[in-house]
């Protein structure tokens, strides 16, 4: 971490035990992603609730290259549970940020275009021919919009092609919109 960590207490007396718990969690975050520039943690007493007693809030502000990650966890009856939950969520957000920065985000397959060439409505399946003349099987549960019964032979569709057990299969079939 480039700047020293800050811990702020609001409506809550400063506690070495709470500071130690927060410092431990911040140290673990720094192990997940070493480019954290700044970390500010706010521990607050939200309110005294008639039936639940004291409720705590933990806010974690992380400054990272090109962005900021903010996590806010409210209404925990135990300050250490609030700390755990806030830092678990911050770790997940930090891991997602690091994956996006590395380019490890899953790339989606491009959609294919085709035309419905055969329909077997009574059995709930059909075939789509793509631009290369190959046929892809699909069934009523792969149709997104409109429903299967509204499709007709000759309709232009967009779909995702997947490998099926007996050859190519179309998934997420929907009518093609023309611009």
Query: pLDDT tens digits for 59-94?
Result: 999 998 888 899 988 778 889 999 999 999 999 988
pLDDT of residue 89: 92
The residue behind tokens 């059995």 is 123
Q: What CATH topology corresponds to 112-175?
A: OB fold (Dihydrolipoamide Acetyltransferase, E2P) (2.40.50)
Q: pTM for this structure? A: 0.57
Domain borders along the chain are 6-102, 112-175
Give me the sheet containing 6-10, strands edge to edge: 6-10, 38-49, 53-64, 67-76
Handedness of CA 149, 153, 155, 160 (dihedral sign): positive
| Superfamily of chain region 6-102 | Ribosome hibernation promotion factor-like (3.30.160.100)
Q: pLDDT by residue (tens digit) across 128-166?
A: 998 888 999 998 888 877 788 889 999 999 998 887 778
Q: Which of 114, 154, 118, 151 is nearest to 134 (CA)?
A: 114
């Amino acid at each position: 971490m480039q700047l020293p960590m800050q811990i702020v207490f609001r409506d809550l007396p400063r506690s070495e035990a709470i500071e130690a718990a927060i410092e431990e969690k911040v140290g673990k975050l720094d192990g997940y992603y070493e480019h954290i520039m700044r970390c500010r943690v706010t521990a607050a007493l939200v309110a005294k609730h008639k039936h639940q007693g004291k409720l705590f809030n933990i806010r974690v502000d992380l400054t990272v290259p090109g962005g900021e990650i903010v996590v806010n966890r409210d209404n925990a009856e135990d300050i250490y549970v609030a700390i755990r939950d806030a830092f678990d969520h911050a770790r997940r957000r930090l891991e997602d940020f690091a994956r996006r920065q590395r380019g490890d985000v899953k790339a989606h397959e491009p959609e294919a275009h085709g035309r419905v060439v055969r329909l077997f409505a009574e059995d709930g399946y059909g075939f789509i021919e793509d631009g290369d003349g190959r046929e892809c099987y699909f069934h009523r549960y792969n149709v997104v919009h409109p429903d299967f019964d509204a499709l007709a032979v000759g309709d232009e569709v967009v779909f995702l092609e997947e490998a099926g057990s007996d050859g190519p299969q179309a998934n997420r079939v929907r009518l093609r919109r023309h611009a």
